[in-house]
Amino acid sequence: MEFEALSRYTSPVNPAVFPHLTVVLLATGLFFTACFLVYEVTSTASTRDIYKELLIALVASLFMGFGVLFPLLWVSIYV
């Protein structure tokens, strides 16, 4: 049905860098998660700043999200 006209799917990210991306993104994500955790534990009601919380949470979740995607792709769970 036009299978010949279709081109083979290639990944936008070179599969050879999956391991490196995994390590970097996951490490950064975990680092920011840890920062968020420590901030929550050691701050009191008066010193807590909602914008700071949101900022750290946003950065952490971004990095963690991609940091979970690339390990999955690396072990060939093609989500």
Partner 1 sequence: MAEPSAPESKHKSSLNSSPWSGLMALGNSRHGHHGPGAQCAHKAAGGAAPKPAPAGLSGGLSQPAGWQSLLSFTILFLAWLAGFSSRLFAVIRFESIIHEFDPWFNYRSTHHLASHGFYEFLNWFDERAWYPLGRIVGGTVYPGLMITAGLIHWILNTLNITVHIRDVCVFLAPTFSGLTSISTFLLTRELWNQGAGLLAACFIAIVPGYISRSVAGSFDNEGIAIFALQFTYYLWVKSVKTGSVFWTMCCCLSYFYMVSAWGGYVFIINLIPLHVFVLLLMQRYSKRVYIAYSTFYIVGLILSMQIPFVGFQPIRTSEHMAAAGVFALLQAYAFLQYLRDRLTKQEFQTLFFLGVSLAAGAVFLSVIYLTYTVALYAISAVYFAGVMVRLMLTLTPVVCMLSAIAFSNVFEHYLGDDMKRENPPVEDSSDEDDKRNPGNLYDKAGKVRKHVTEQEKTEEGLGPNIKSIVTMLMLMLLMMFAVHCTWVTSNAYSSPSVVLASYNHDGTRNILDDFREAYFWLRQNTDEHARVMSWWDYGYQIAGMANRTTLVDNNTWNNSHIALVGKAMSSNETAAYKIMRSLDVDYVLVIFGGVIGYSGDDINKFLWMVRIAEGEHPKDIRESDYFTPQGEFRVDKAGSPTLLNCLMYKMSYYRFGEMQLDFRTPPGFDRTRNAEIGNKDIKFKHLEEAFTSEHWLVRIYKVKAPDNRVTLDHKPRVTNIFPKQKYLSKKTAKRKRGYIKNKLVFKKGKKISKKTV
Residues that bind partner 1 (CB under 8 A): 34-35, 37-47, 49, 52
How many CB atoms sit inside 10 A of residue 7's CB?
A: 6
Minimum separation from the CB atom of position 39 to partner 1 (A): 5
Cβ closer to partner 1: 27 or 34? 34
Q: Look at the block and give the residue holding tokens 């390590």.
A: 23
Cβ closer to partner 1: 10 or 47? 47
Minimum separation from the CB atom of position 33 to partner 1 (A): 9
The tokens of 10 are what? 């290639």
Cβ closer to partner 1: 20 or 48? 48
* C-alpha span between 63 and 12 (Å, rounded): 18
Helical ranges in 1-79 per DSSP H: 18-42, 50-74
